[in-house]
A = this chain, B = another copy of it.
Amino acid sequence: MTNDMYNQSLPVFKQLLTSLSAILTKAEAFADEKKFDPKVLLDARLYPDMFPLSRQVQIAADFAKSVSARLAGIDVPAYEDNEQTFAELQARISKTLAFIESLTPEQFENSETREIILRPGTPKEKKLLGRHYLSNYGLPQFFFHVTTAYAILRHNGLEIGKGDFMGAY
């Protein structure tokens, strides 16, 4: 069976996390080739109060995981944010991909009208229907962090292009 909410979310997360993984592989090879500590890239940021590359990757993976889980109506798996190396970030992406690939279209049935509560119990609490949550919150957040990860690496001289960002579609 097909489900629109499933098709609009899972394959997109999969496409972009896969391309992000390939970009990180190139970034690590770049550090190796130029003989600098890969940590320089992991800690790189576009401005002092912006998150560095490693955190951008963690947050992108987090949105893929949490948006998928919430639409599927299951608990969001908790992952520690303790990645310190490219290998660990790759493992984080792989773990996230394995999780989202474990979800089925059936779990997304009626998710378009499922109520999702953002920041529950806080003054900024906000309720959204599943379809708004995905289109107007989840996807923009996910793309924001994947693109920022790309931008940090591009700014640091990694030779990648938009095709690397887009991946296979």
A7 touches B143 (CB 8 A): no
Query: Which chain B residues border A136 with CB–CB below 8 Å?
Result: 11-12, 15, 169
Mask for A129-153, Cβ within 8 A of B = 1, else 0?
A: 0011001110111011001101100
Interface size range of chain A in the complex: 20 to 34
Roughly how many angstroms separate A4 CA and B135 CA in the complex, as a whole number?
A: 11
A143 touches B135 (CB 8 A): no
A100 CB-CB contact with B under 8 Å: no
| Minimum Cβ distance to chain B for residue A8 (Å) | 5
Query: Which chain B residues border A4 with CB–CB below 8 Å?
Result: 4, 131
A162 CB-CB contact with B under 8 Å: yes
| Minimum Cβ distance to chain B for residue A84 (Å) | 24
Please give me the residue from chain B that is nearest to A168 by CB atom: B136
CB<8 Å pairs between A and B, sample of 9: A8-B131, A15-B136, A15-B140, A136-B169, A139-B143, A143-B143, A143-B144, A143-B147, A144-B150
Residues of A that sit less than 8 Å from B by CB: 4, 7-8, 11-12, 15-16, 46-47, 50, 128, 131-132, 135-137, 139-141, 143-144, 147-148, 150-151, 154-155, 157, 162, 165-166, 169
